[in-house]
Amino acid sequence: MMIKYDYIIIGAGLFGSVFAHEATKRGKKCLVVDKRNHIGGNVFSDEIEGINVHKYGPHIFHTSNQRVWDYINQFVEFSRFTYMPIANYNGELYNLPFNMNTFNKMWGTITPDEARLKIEEHRASHKTDAPANLEEQAINLVGVDIYEKLIKGYTQKQWGRLCVDLPAFIIKRLPVRFTYDNNYFNDKYQGIPIGGYTKMVERMFDGVEVRLGVDYLANKQNLDALAKKVIYSGAIDAFFDYRFGELEYRSLQFENEILDTDNYQGVAVMNYTDSETLYTRIIEHKHFEFGTQEKTVISREYPMPWSRGDEPYYPVNDDKNNVLYGKYRELAALESNVIFGGRLGEYRYYDMDQVIESALQLAESELL
């Protein structure tokens, strides 16, 4: 077989699309393959009833990285959407992230000093100097009341394990603020691509050959023979046929419903933070784009254990898995013709902007 491409890129998600775009722009010939029958990876959006449905869970683009923001804005315009999810704890509603509105609802505090004092009281008996797990970290940050009502149930459902068995860094993704500001993110820029994520990725793939429904690992030899180099954004343990065993992932399932109402819950995302409700959140997609359609589409998100063949969504970056990942990383370093990247290729809880930044960095070092 003839080498026809400079790069074969495995995965049509954000990592693959940014790299493919950059390589094509610099005159390289790329072939992108994805085993799914659509582009975009987990940012894929599908239009249902005129509404862009986030098929793999809510994706809100946010970044403080100027270069990433400028980059992504070449392809699509972003709306002014600001993520302000509501937490529903057995019918009691709280603002997220943890801010003065949350504290007021929880304790009736009005001033930042009052709120700080309350948190101090609530963590006094539990405070640890060096939080070793998510539970200790959460209590240190916001005290026991908020931990019990807004964190514990949600987190244990999402990750399928106890908060004492989870790494502390996960909860540090959420801001704690002593202002009346319900914006979930601290980043400078935020929004949703107008017209949907799929449109954005389509534009990145302008002029790039993309083959969908192609399972790279099942056809590795033939596909490798087509290109000089492989950019692989699939799961790293799968690439090596799970030689050292499986890395752990968390999976999700979505139950989608079209409803005959124009507004079901009044907010894009409502988190169910109790431990009895089986789903973690309900997404009402039209609110991401201030939609005025007559109907609405909602998705209930159910966390799921992952086993081979399921979609991996979240890497479980605890010590045990990070050590195992280190072993795969060593194998990866020996593959001189393959570059691993993205959330699955690097087994990292990357946000979208971080994926784009790392693909841009790769493009710079690789495409001289």
- Among candidate residues 34, 56, 154, 281, the one labeled active-site is 281
Which of the residues 295 through 354 are near ligand UDP (CB under 6 A)? Answer: none
Q: What's the half-sphere exposure (Cβ side, CA atoms, 13 Å) at 123?
A: 21
State which of residues 155, 198, 299, 354 lies at the interface with ligand UDP (CB under 6 A).
Answer: 155
Residue 255 C-beta: closest distance to ligand UDP, Å:
17
How far are the Cα atoms of 6, 65, 133, 355 from residue 196, in angstroms, in the given order? 30, 21, 37, 18
Q: Is 197 in the site for ligand UDP (CB under 6 A)?
A: no
67 catalytic residue (yes or no): no
Q: Is 173 in the site for ligand UDP (CB under 6 A)?
A: yes
Q: Is 31 in the site for ligand UDP (CB under 6 A)?
A: no
301 catalytic residue (yes or no): yes
**Cα–Cα distance, 70 to 22 (Å, whole number):** 14
**Cα–Cα distance, 126 to 345 (Å, whole number):** 38
Residue 195 C-beta: closest distance to ligand UDP, Å:
22
Strands 5-10 and 227-232: parallel
Residue 125 C-beta: closest distance to ligand UDP, Å:
21
Residue 106 C-beta: closest distance to ligand UDP, Å:
14
Q: Where are the alpha helices (DSSP H) in the chain?
A: 14-25, 66-73, 100-107, 112-123, 134-146, 153-159, 197-204, 220-224, 236-239, 319-334, 342-345, 352-366
Count the neighbouring beta carbons within 10 Å of the beta carbon of residue 353: 21
Q: Is 170 in the site for ligand UDP (CB under 6 A)?
A: yes
241 catalytic residue (yes or no): no
Residue 147 C-beta: closest distance to ligand UDP, Å:
8
- Among candidate residues 148, 348, 349, 366, the one labeled active-site is 349
Which tokens hold the place of 282?
Answer: 């309900």
**Cα–Cα distance, 59 to 51 (Å, whole number):** 15
DSSP string, 42-77: GG-EEEETTEEEETTS---EEE--HHHHHHHHTT--
CB closer to ligand UDP, 133 vs 158: 158
Q: What's the half-sphere exposure (Cβ side, CA atoms, 13 Å) at 221?
A: 0
Residue 68 C-beta: closest distance to ligand UDP, Å:
18
Task: Fill in the per-residue mask, 38 to 77: x = in contact with ligand UDP (CB under 6 A), - = not in contact.
Answer: ----------------------------------------
Closest CA to 20 of 197, 210, 195, 196: 210
- Among candidate residues 34, 351, 353, 357, the one labeled active-site is 351
| φ and ψ at residue 354, rounded to 5 degrees | -70, -35
Kindly determine how many residues on this chain lie close enough to bind ligand UDP according to the rule CB under 6 A.
13
State which of residues 52, 95, 133, 271 lies at the interface with ligand UDP (CB under 6 A).
Answer: 271
Q: Is 158 in the site for ligand UDP (CB under 6 A)?
A: yes
Q: Is 151 in the site for ligand UDP (CB under 6 A)?
A: yes
H and E: helices and strands count for the chain? 12, 16
Which of the residues 85 through 104 are near ligand UDP (CB under 6 A)? Answer: 87, 96
- Among candidate residues 46, 301, 353, 357, the one labeled active-site is 301
Q: Which stretch binds ligand UDP (CB under 6 A): 23-31, 38-46, 154-162, 287-295?
A: 154-162
**Cα–Cα distance, 8 to 224 (Å, whole number):** 7
State which of residues 32, 53, 141, 174 lies at the interface with ligand UDP (CB under 6 A).
Answer: 174
349 catalytic residue (yes or no): yes
- Among candidate residues 36, 123, 250, 343, the one labeled active-site is 250
Q: Which residue numbers are catalytic? A: 173, 177, 250, 281, 301, 349, 351
Q: Which residues bind ligand UDP (CB under 6 A)?
A: 87, 96, 150-151, 154-155, 158, 170-171, 173-174, 271, 273
